[in-house]
Structure 1
Amino acid sequence: MSNEAHSLKPALNAWHMWGLAVGLVISGEYFGWSYGWDKAGTLGFMVTSILIAVMYTTFIFSFTELTTSIPHAGGPFAYARRAFGSKAAFIAGFATLVEFVFAPPAIAMAIGAYLNVQFPGVDPKMMAAGAYVVFIALNIIGVHIAATFELFVTLLAIIELLVFMGVVSPGFSVSNFVAHGWAGQESFSWAVIPGIVAAIPFAIWFFLAIEGVAMAAEEAENPKRTVPIAYIAGILTLVALALGVMVFAGGAGDWKALSNINDPLPQAMKMIVGANSGWLHMLVWIGLFGLVASFHGIILGYSRQIFALARAGYMPKYFAAVHPKFKTPHRAIIAGGVVGVAAIFSDDLIQFGGQTLTANLITMSVFGAIVMYMISMLSLFALRKNEPNLARPFPAMFYPAFPLIALVLAGVSLVTMIYYNQLLAGIFTGLMALAFGYFLMTKHHRDAAIDKHHAVATA
């Protein structure tokens, strides 16, 4: 294949990148987080969410240094390879792949659940699979079209969350939010701590995948300017929305009724306006935009990760092809979709441990994210030491405090997640071992040096 067949087209401006940053994550405000209430209660989960918000804020203000210094479609994979070599790059790339491949089927299931609210006769799984078909096609057609659509649905999703808060606010009650808010108890005790830490994956879901902007850095018109804007504005937008949605939903009525379902916002609104209100129907329809924004954006993210890994020889070269007309990694886009649809129809394999299919998909995705966050922060420290003259258009703020805080909180999150999700941790480790076997078997096909695309991007 020619270089043209392995090159992505720069076409995204600052608005596109901000839309991608928020859109990748915003479905986390619509569903998934309420499973944390089941573990910790409203007040306990608030503690978890604030700690995770601190982790993400310090992480993003540090991660931006890597993204602007090394604008590469592989994102964390490229940073780890430059800092530590091919084996660390494999771990970072695999972890990122798990995060971005297991998140979309969870979101697709929520799309199916929302449609089922409006049309009780439809099969949520078939709707979820149909969402893959539609948005795989849109991602293949072109990155500019895909990113413009992403910006549009992200703006609608933000407006809808603000509308939700406004509609439920007349019925909001602090007493509803705090009732039995410490994991079913009226007051704090040390017995609440296990629930607070067990809820970590669902607090991470509020912000999961914002780092996917890094995988579009090669397609940004000016990554040294647009990426910092996207990350900083994005994380501030998401923290405000996450806290607002959680508080208003919890104060709408009995929060326990919302703690183990895929559509907490429509059900919370139903408590205030009733099942037949036009506001409720509007939330279901427009609320779909939030799910679509993340679903669509993460498809873009996983495809670039598969593409970058294949281009560097860590996956079969077959997936490194770029469509001759649309200049998008079409095979990588389809490959992640096949895995996602298989996950949707694999209840018996994925629904276990007392958790729903969606909760297990979220937890698996979070395992990948946390491992990747740790390797990224370690890469930042290593590159500061080993390459002090590397161009850093946006140095990490409050270095070394911010990256260290992010690294420590990510490490604590990983340890507690392993303790409370041992079976899923074993599956994650097993998948990594299988992938590492492929990595070793194909070593003679792979050049361990930085590939030509990486060298050009960081020259």
Structure 2
Amino acid sequence: MSDTQLKPTLGTLHLWGIAVGLVISGEYFGWSYGWGVAGTLGFLVTTVLVAAMYTCFIFSFTELTTAIPHAGGPFAYSWRAFGPLGGMIAGIATLIEFTFAPPSISMAIGAYLNVQFPGLDPRVAAVGAYLIFMGLNIVGVSIAATFELVVTVLAVIELLVFMGVVAPGFSLSRFMLEGWAGNDRFDGKAIAGIFAAIPFAIWFFLAIEGAAMAAEEAKEPRRTIPRAYIAGILTLVTLAFGVMILAGGVGDWRSLSNINDPLPQAMKAVVGNDSTWLHMLVWIGLFGLVASFHGIILGYSRQFFALARAGFLPHGLARLSRFRTPHRAILAGGVIGIAAIFSDGLVQLQGMSLTAAMITLSVFGAVVMYLMSMLSLFKLRRAEPDLPRSFRAPGYPLVPAVALVLALLCLVTMVWFNPLLAAIFVGLMATGMALCQLSLRRGGIRADAALEPH
């Protein structure tokens, strides 16, 4: 086995754990910022639209994942469809998505721990999380995936417990109070709020596509990946709506709209500050954040690895450790994330906290990658009709077209409401592509049979 060849060890359950685990922190924090701009009712509308986009996207994306089971995921599909430039755009967008999400999650881990230990600096806890879970990812993918599965199952159980505990305190009138962008009526401000909240609804589902980056490490990927993805999106849609609706009706939802720990604070409104349920939520609730944090480290490392292996980044990032894991790629993303953590509190963009800004930048990367993936699906259907496809997108071309149109709508509205962050995202894309061009000039594109059209 070569020093850049990953080892297939993962089954369906592991892949479900990765797919759900990558995302499940989005049910614990981040989404409630959407209430701040759209209100509960407006954000509910936003979430319905985004859930429809993700459902159509995953059923379409699975066709690409099974046809081209490659660690580069969207980078590989776009290169196969549109050549090196397409691969570069998708690859850098995916790197931005997966590199800016972990600092946000690590800060939420710190906020949750701060509830239990008020003297603990959240930034110290966030850095500690990076060091622990980068180490776990370096030790081996099978160990990492098993850990991911365990914490994901615990996180799902904890969200179900949260819903069960707060349900008796739910009031529809509280949920609906000033539910249209802080008003009781649906008007132009409410419509603007619905669109402005798109990044935070996407946060409910962001990174589910990251399981594609474990495709080279999956056993029988053409069979296991569709099962994992379909079960994963159904799990996440159910949890997202359950958590959001119940949390919004147990107290004053406005007090939860700009904080990193909305679930413990919502539970306080029902059970008080000293309840055993609350302490359990804080401790076990950490598993949801840990599952996403740990899983996204796996995701960003495989994207760094795939780009480096193909020659778009320095080849040293594609080296494997003695555990057959891309240790240098894991550390590269960690350096960026830790730098972002220590910028928290020093930087505000468009009036947002750094956490909200990093979420938005991550979502920009995701939406560009979704567009490239759906365009790749259409292109490959025409250009390579004989490409083996063990799973075909149902309802083609309508289902992928819905995903494409909704993703484009998301991108346009995000640019409209976040012009400064859009400019920063374009700058990051340009910088990343310039680095790719520099690396290519030095070493050239390396052959990769999975990426070349037949």
Query: What TM-score does the superposition give when structure 1 sets the normalisation length?
Result: 0.97
1:202, CA displacement in angstroms? 0.1
1:347, CA displacement in angstroms? 2.8
1:348, CA displacement in angstroms? 6.0
2-structure distance, mates of 1:205, 1:329: 27
CA contact (8 A) 2:344 2:355 kept: no
CA contact (8 A) 2:111 2:261 kept: yes
Counterpart for residue 326 of structure 1: 323
2-structure distance, mates of 1:87, 1:453: 16
Counterpart for residue 381 of structure 2: 384
Counterpart for residue 372 of structure 2: 375
1:375, CA displacement in angstroms? 0.3
Counterpart for residue 354 of structure 1: 351
2-structure distance, mates of 1:350, 1:63: 36
2-structure distance, mates of 1:349, 1:54: 37
Equivalent position amino acid for 1:134 in 2: I
1-structure distance, mates of 2:192, 2:91: 31
Picking from 169, 172, 175, the partner of 2:167 is: 169
Picking from 62, 65, 70, the partner of 1:64 is: 62
Give the stretch that moved more between structures: 417-426 or 43-52: 417-426
Query: What TM-score does the superposition give when structure 2 sets the normalisation length?
Result: 0.98
CA contact (8 A) 1:215 1:304 kept: yes
- Structure 1 segment 173-212 matched on structure 2, within 5 A: 173-212=171-210
Secondary structure, in 3 states, of the residue corresponding to 2:2?
helix
1:172, CA displacement in angstroms? 0.8
1:451, CA displacement in angstroms? 1.2
Give the stretch that moved more between structures: 135-144 or 179-188: 179-188
Counterpart for residue 342 of structure 1: 339
1:441, CA displacement in angstroms? 2.8
Picking from 231, 242, 245, the partner of 1:244 is: 242
- 1:265-292 Cα deviation digits (max 9, x unpaired): 0000000100111110000000000000
1:4, CA displacement in angstroms? 1.6
Percent identity between matched residues is 67
1:206, CA displacement in angstroms? 0.1
Give the stretch that moved more between structures: 239-248 or 166-175: 166-175
Unaligned runs of 5+ in 2: none
Picking from 3, 6, 13, the partner of 1:5 is: 3
Counterpart for residue 394 of structure 1: 391
Picking from 288, 301, 304, the partner of 1:303 is: 301
2-structure distance, mates of 1:348, 1:182: 30
1:19, CA displacement in angstroms? 0.5
Q: How many pairs were matched up?
A: 454
Counterpart for residue 97 of structure 2: 99
- 1:130-179 Cα deviation digits (max 9, x unpaired): 00000000000000000000000000000000000111111111111000
1-structure distance, mates of 2:309, 2:412: 33
Counterpart for residue 429 of structure 2: 432
CA contact (8 A) 1:350 1:360 kept: no
Counterpart for residue 130 of structure 2: 132
Change (3 A) 1:357 1:444: closer
Counterpart for residue 293 of structure 1: 291
Change (3 A) 1:255 1:174: same
2-structure distance, mates of 1:273, 1:213: 37
Counterpart for residue 149 of structure 1: 147
1-structure distance, mates of 2:407, 2:389: 24
Equivalent position amino acid for 1:197 in 2: F
Change (3 A) 1:95 1:349: farther
2-structure distance, mates of 1:449, 1:337: 26
Secondary structure, in 3 states, of the residue corresponding to 2:204?
coil
CA contact (8 A) 2:309 2:446 kept: no
Equivalent position amino acid for 2:359 in 1: I
Counterpart for residue 85 of structure 2: 87
CA contact (8 A) 1:82 1:450 kept: no
Change (3 A) 1:427 1:349: farther
Change (3 A) 1:317 1:125: same
- 1:328-370 Cα deviation digits (max 9, x unpaired): 0000001101100000111366422111111001000000000
CA contact (8 A) 2:71 2:303 kept: yes
Secondary structure, in 3 states, of the residue corresponding to 2:113?
helix
Picking from 252, 255, 258, the partner of 1:257 is: 255
1-structure distance, mates of 2:164, 2:200: 24
Secondary structure, in 3 states, of the residue corresponding to 1:11?
coil
1-structure distance, mates of 2:150, 2:214: 18
Counterpart for residue 283 of structure 1: 281
1:366 aligns with 2:363: yes
Equivalent position amino acid for 1:99 in 2: E
2-structure distance, mates of 1:213, 1:350: 32
2-structure distance, mates of 1:202, 1:380: 26
2-structure distance, mates of 1:32, 1:371: 20
Secondary structure, in 3 states, of the residue corresponding to 1:206?
coil
Unaligned runs of 5+ in 1: none
1:83, CA displacement in angstroms? 0.3
CA contact (8 A) 1:350 1:361 kept: no
Counterpart for residue 407 of structure 1: 404
1-structure distance, mates of 2:83, 2:346: 35
1-structure distance, mates of 2:384, 2:422: 34
- 1:404-431 Cα deviation digits (max 9, x unpaired): 0000000010011011111111111111
2-structure distance, mates of 1:165, 1:62: 31
Secondary structure, in 3 states, of the residue corresponding to 1:26?
helix
2-structure distance, mates of 1:391, 1:320: 28
CA contact (8 A) 1:77 1:89 kept: yes
- 1:53-73 Cα deviation digits (max 9, x unpaired): 000000000000000000000
CA contact (8 A) 2:79 2:451 kept: no
1-structure distance, mates of 2:222, 2:93: 25
Equivalent position amino acid for 2:219 in 1: E
CA contact (8 A) 1:343 1:350 kept: no
Equivalent position amino acid for 1:330 in 2: H
Equivalent position amino acid for 1:96 in 2: T
1:446, CA displacement in angstroms? 4.8
Equivalent position amino acid for 1:248 in 2: L
CA contact (8 A) 1:311 1:320 kept: yes
1:188, CA displacement in angstroms? 1.2
Counterpart for residue 219 of structure 2: 221
- 1:186-224 Cα deviation digits (max 9, x unpaired): 121232111110000000000000000100000001100
2-structure distance, mates of 1:206, 1:42: 15
Secondary structure, in 3 states, of the residue corresponding to 2:388?
coil
